Amino acid sequence: AAKDAGRDQFHLHTLALDEAIQTEVAIHGMVKQALHENRLVLHYQPIVSSAGTVLGVEALIRLNHPEKGLLAPAAFFSALDHPRLARPIGRFVLIEALRQGAIWQEKGLSLLVSLNISTRHLLDARFLEDLQEALARHPGLRPEQIEIEITESAPLHDLPRAQAILNNCHRLGVRIAIDDFGTGNASLTYLQQLPSDTIKIDQSFVRDIIDDPKDLAIVTAVITANRMLGLKVIAEGVEMAEHADLLTKMGCSHLQGYLFSRPIPAEDIPAWIARFRPAPKLGAALPPMDI
């Protein structure tokens, strides 16, 4: 009987596994089709400085599904790092974000355009080519206006290689950000080894700074260390004015979150910027910083 039970369990287990694999296959098929049918879309979320100016925007991918409407990346996360999909997705993001940045630039809106690159695409032998191709298409946009976000939450299997590639990107003038800072276990290694200009403090730390003295201490240390290194510090997931005030007082140079804006379609960005008025308190406590 024990043997039977074991077999049943094994059977259940393979069923669950089957289902998981089928889900993955369906997701990858959906993304592949969306790529073919030009249904991948970028929305943009403003990033503001503590002094109350707009620094730029982060491009965030969405999938326009024929029945379900606009899907957030959570619905197709595994595709972003898939061996055959990571590069086509990354190329779409590079070309589309730079195209959009060039349009804003032409309108006189000089923004820093930040984009997320999967570690798989970054480590692809053709990544630098892909980046240069996108830059060459839009000569009106300076490389300094582009920031590549590398997430710390997905391990970089080959750090020396990532370092070499990012050094080449940096030489072109493109900026490098470490995204989701603090969520992996390589934060300090990344800071030391990668040519980073910016770190983005993950929203999981930002969320609790008001109630949790531990999180407040961690975020304070992160801000201080990175300011000493001359890096730009962006706090992600800023939802409440209290967060913005506290982060600003702690010396955080930039803020991003629903308090200011959700990610929105490209065509809504100019109007959002024109309307943006920083809260009066924002910037008041911060000593000026030249970044």
Residue 93 sits in the site that holds ligand C2E (CB under 6 A): yes
User: Between residue 109 and residue 128, which ones bind Mg ion under the rule CB under 5 A?
Assistant: 116
Which of 46, 101, 257, 278 touches ligand C2E by CB under 6 A?
257
Question: What's the start-to-end Cα distance of the chain, in Å?
Answer: 70
Which one of the spans 6-14, 126-134, 163-171, 230-238 is the region binding ligand C2E (CB under 6 A)? Answer: 230-238
- 96 binds Mg ion per the rule CB under 5 A: no
**What is the smallest separation between the CB atom of 52 and ligand C2E, expressed in angstroms?**
18
Rounded to a whole number of angstroms, the minimum distance from the CB of residue 287 to ligand C2E is: 26
Q: Of these, 96, 124, 147, 180, which contacts Mg ion (CB under 5 A)?
A: 180
Residue 101 within binding range of ligand C2E, rule CB under 6 A: no
Residue 199 CB burial class (10 angstroms; 0-12, 13-18, ≥19): buried
The DSSP secondary structure of 193-209, one letter per residue, reads HS--SEEEE-HHHHTTT
Alpha helices in 124-235 (DSSP H): 127-137, 159-172, 187-193, 203-206, 213-228
Residue 93 or 131: which CB sits closer to ligand C2E? 93
The minimum distance between CB 47 and ligand C2E, in angstroms, equals 10
Comparing CB distances to Mg ion, the nearer of 121 and 284 is 121
| Cβ-contact 290, 232 below 8 angstroms | no
Considering the rule CB under 6 A, would residue 56 count as an interface residue with ligand C2E? no
**How many positions of this chain bind ligand C2E (CB under 6 A)?**
23
Please give the Cα distance from 283 to 249 (Å, whole number). Answer: 8
Query: How many residues touch Mg ion (CB under 5 A)?
Result: 5
| Least spacing, CB of residue 180 vs ligand C2E, in Å | 5
CA distance 262 to 122: 27
- Exactly one of 63, 180, 198, 252 binds ligand C2E (CB under 6 A); which one? 180
- Cβ 237 to Mg ion shortest distance, Å: 8
Where does residue 49 rank: exposed (0-12), middle (13-18), buried (19+ CB within 10 A)? buried
Cβ proximity to Mg ion, 37 vs 40, nearer residue: 40
| 179 part of the interface to ligand C2E, by CB under 6 A | yes
Residue 215 tokens read as 């999180």
Identify the burial level of 136 via C-beta atoms within 10 angstroms of its C-beta, where 0-12 means exposed, 13-18 middle and 19 or more buried: exposed
DSSP state of 134: H
